[in-house]
Amino acid sequence: MANLIEGKRQFSRIKLVSPLRFQVRGKPEYDNSVIDDISIGGLSFRNGKFIPPNTLLSLEMSVLSRALRAVGRVAWVNNLPFSDRFKLGVEFLELEGKDKMFLEDYINFKTE
């Protein structure tokens, strides 16, 4: 399910509920979550662990059954009200050219 999210953003962002697998760079273990929304410049997701801003993450995500890999930087972290969970915003630093074009086409299709 995808819907356009309005706001003061550099890139069009859409709502997207999709699996996310991520790893803090330099750590051996991976964690799983679900993407809340995504743009060509980054994504947001919820997590039970605090990950400080500027932390580098290896990301593996699924968009329309296509596996995309990226490297991102935690741009912001917010405490979720009445919860021990956090919402994180991640800026893409590396996203392969063909994956970037696929994601851009998908977002453009969903926002038309």
**Would you call 110 helix, strand, or coil by DSSP?**
helix
**Per-residue pLDDT tens for 1-19?**
444 444 455 777 899 999 9
CATH superfamily of 4-111: predicted glycosyltransferase like domains (2.40.10.220)
pLDDT recorded at residue 76 = 96
SS3 106: helix
Q: Where are the domains of the chain?
A: 4-111
What is d(CA 57, CA 2) in angstroms, rounded to the nearest whole number? 24
Q: Give the model confidence (pLDDT) of 45-99 as tens digits.
A: 999 999 999 999 999 999 988 999 999 999 999 999 998 999 999 999 999 999 9
